[in-house]
Structure 1
Amino acid sequence: MAFLGKAAVLTEAGKDVELIDISVAAPAPDDAVIEVVASGVCHTDLTIKMQQGAGMKFPIILGHEGAGIVKAVGSNVTHLKPGDPVVIAYRAPCGNCPACRRGDPRHCYMALRPTTPITRTSDGAACSQVLRCGTFSTTTVVNAKAAIKMPEAMPLDKACLLACGVITGVGATMNTTTVWPGASVAVVGCGGVGLSVIQGAKIQGAKTIIGVDVNPTKLEWAKNFGATHVVNARDGDPVAAVRNLVTDDWPGYEGGVDFAFEATGLMPCIEQAVRMVNYNGTAVNIGFPGKDAEVTLNVGNIDTGVYWNKVNLRVCHCGDALPSHDFPLLAQLYLEGRLNLDAMVTGYVKLDEVEHAFHTMETGNVIRSVIRL
């Protein structure tokens, strides 16, 4: 039995997103067919369009931040059944790579992908799925381990945000590093991921949380989501401003934060984050860089250089998440009122309004547009 649907796809390089009819085959033994209820519109999907498909084979079903209802499962699947509400994870650990074999699935080298085909009904062409998900579609298919069951009380138009931007930011404070109670934190870039870092730092009990951006609207967002201070980087040296906001009675203290998170993908911001941290502080690169991006770090400066300041530099991919553990945890935090997903949704769009959502993302002040299907 095949499942019919519609999907927002890139059909060829240089063209706008099109809405097409698709067919999802009956699920292979390890797969699950999902009726998508909602999908966040993430900047990564726009990046794939701007990079002419980023090497994926056309047609490409966009979307990787989705939640929905299980329609059918393969014969090997025992943890899900039709009717279950789920969030789709784009990084379900493979279980076989060196990291998984040593018991470290958070750092899996790859991710499980479905083997069930999705085809364009007009000509039978096989469709690629962005990050193995393809959630800009009324129906999609994933490896069943990538479908993470949600509590019945969890609204799926909010749960979808857990799949990428929110887990990336919150996970950076819980998994990539461990922000401790009373810590000082700077967040460079206060878009959707940066705001999620701020929320994660607040949940972890950070005392000082400094949002840094050049957009006054985003700085207001930062305060609304838990920043104790904000710095407009256009008003002067943001490194000096951040370091001066953190004080300690110990006479040898030179300022700086315990953790600095870069959430822009801009190389100068990585360099700034490194110089913002105090002795033995941790700077985290989260933003997605261009393929030729490079950054030069000072090593020898006595106050802020990598060597003398003993800087720890880490890279965050998807919050170093273990979705089967982390997604239910974040859902529970939302249900307890400790994680604000409602305010993360700037507006709702329909499946045929993806281009409008992309345009708003490029030109307006938007945290997340969510497609309701």
Structure 2
Amino acid sequence: MPHTVRAVVARGKGQPVEVVSINVPDPGPGEALVKVQACGVCHTDLHYREGGINDDFPFLLGHEASGVVEAVGEGVTGVAPGDFVVLNWRAVCGECRACKRGDLQYCFNTHNATQKMTLAEGPDSGVELSPALGIGAFAEKTLVAAGQCTKVDPDARPAAVGLLGCGVMAGIGSAINTGAVSRGKSVAVIGCGGVGVAAIAGSALVGASPIIAVDIDPEKLKTAKKMGATHTIDSSQADAVGEIKRISGEYFDGADGADVVIDAVGRPETWKQAFYARDLAGTVVLVGVPTPDMKIPDLPLIDVFGRGGALKSSWYGDCLPNRDFPLLVDLYRQGRLDLDTFVTEEIGIGNIEAAFEHMHHGDVLRSVVVF
């Protein structure tokens, strides 16, 4: 019997989102029904609304979420009704070539719920919805593959730990998993929105130093400092590359840049800054998401060869949810990882458009819908 709940839907490209009634099926084999408690408003949701992901409208938005499992389908053993979970969009298959070689965090065939959620009212009643990142959590309840549910400490604050479902995990993972940041390494992070600040927090967590934050917004640089940055650079006032080289050289004699430079913006200009701000044999990590039309102009191939090192992209922070989420939630509960700072405001389900505006103006790390 379907569950009729309120949810946020984007019906067409650029159109304001709507709060509507949708039908959510009971879980079938391998699926779980989750009562959503909190869901962060991520820039990816705005990309969906603007048609920047694909044109499979209408979209059921929301994906950075936590909640309680209400029911599970046949064959589900990993979670049970009553479990508090963080939702993820990497439900590994166990069968693809990445999984079989032991690299589950690179699974090439992640899966979602088989059944579709649908609109429940008006002339479009019965129209199938496309859930954002296979989750669709701006809804009182959602249907996901059971593998998209990661059980964590039930005493954790839902609004905070739900953010591990996307942006915060992407940032922390870009530093620790992709960039292999560790004690004794220097780090620079370009762009101090939610993902960039998370990369700074992750770098601080593992003892990196110096940790250099770069942005053009003084308030974002203040937050970066709070979350572990040892130095800040306002790149509207100073040459970011030159300053990163100078600071790194003061810490490590002979250093010509940071060991790891993370581009959390995802533009050609910032990627080139990251490329030239790293030390010889250093690592560049791209975690900011570029648009399909962006290209890197005028990068001499001899510079790629001559500087050595590694040029990496970080997709979901190269995370494995069932390994990383419980660990990070435990660190949060111990007071060693400040996830609460990422929650700038708690809002209702009807305030998504306002949250998009706040995002445009750079006023928030995260707005979080609390049910």
Coarse TM-score class (shorter-chain normalised): over 0.9
| RMSD of equivalent CA atoms | 1.4
In 2, distance between residues paired with 1:361 and 1:249? Answer: 35
Which residue identity does 1:57 align to in structure 2?
A: D
Tell me what 2:110 maps to: 111
In 1, distance between residues paired with 2:218 and 2:251? Answer: 32
The aligned runs of 1:286-305 (5 Å cut-off) are: 286-296=287-297, 297-300=299-302, 305=303
Contact 1:217 1:365 in 2 (8 A): no
Contact 1:63 1:134 in 2 (8 A): yes
In 1, distance between residues paired with 2:301 and 2:27? Answer: 53
Tell me what 1:221 maps to: 223
Could you give the per-residue CA deviations for residues 62-115 of structure 1, whole angstroms, max 9, x where no partner exists?
011011011110011012111111000011212222111211111111311101
In 2, distance between residues paired with 1:20 and 1:160? Answer: 23
Tell me what 1:139 maps to: 141
Q: TM-score when scaled to structure 2?
A: 0.96
Tell me what 1:84 maps to: 83
1:15 aligns with 2:15: yes
Tell me what 1:66 maps to: 65
Contact 1:274 1:311 in 2 (8 A): no
Tell me what 1:192 maps to: 194
Contact 1:173 1:204 in 2 (8 A): no
Contact 2:262 2:286 in 1 (8 A): yes
3-state DSSP of counterpart to 1:20: strand
1:336 aligns with 2:323: no
1:37 aligns with 2:41: no
Distance 1:256 1:121, change over 3 A: same
3-state DSSP of counterpart to 2:280: strand
3-state DSSP of counterpart to 1:19: strand
3-state DSSP of counterpart to 2:271: helix
| Alpha-carbon offset, residue 254 of structure 1 | 4.3
The aligned runs of 1:1-373 (5 Å cut-off) are: 1-51=1-51, 54-122=53-121, 123-247=125-249, 253-296=254-297, 297-300=299-302, 305-373=303-371
| Alpha-carbon offset, residue 326 of structure 1 | 0.6
Number of aligned positions between the proteins: 367
Identical counterparts, % of pairs? 39
Which residue identity does 2:3 align to in structure 1?
A: F
Contact 2:210 2:251 in 1 (8 A): no
| Alpha-carbon offset, residue 250 of structure 1 | 7.4
| Alpha-carbon offset, residue 248 of structure 1 | 5.8
Could you give the per-residue CA deviations for residues 180-216 of structure 1, whole angstroms, max 9, x where no partner exists?
2021000000000000000000011102000001111
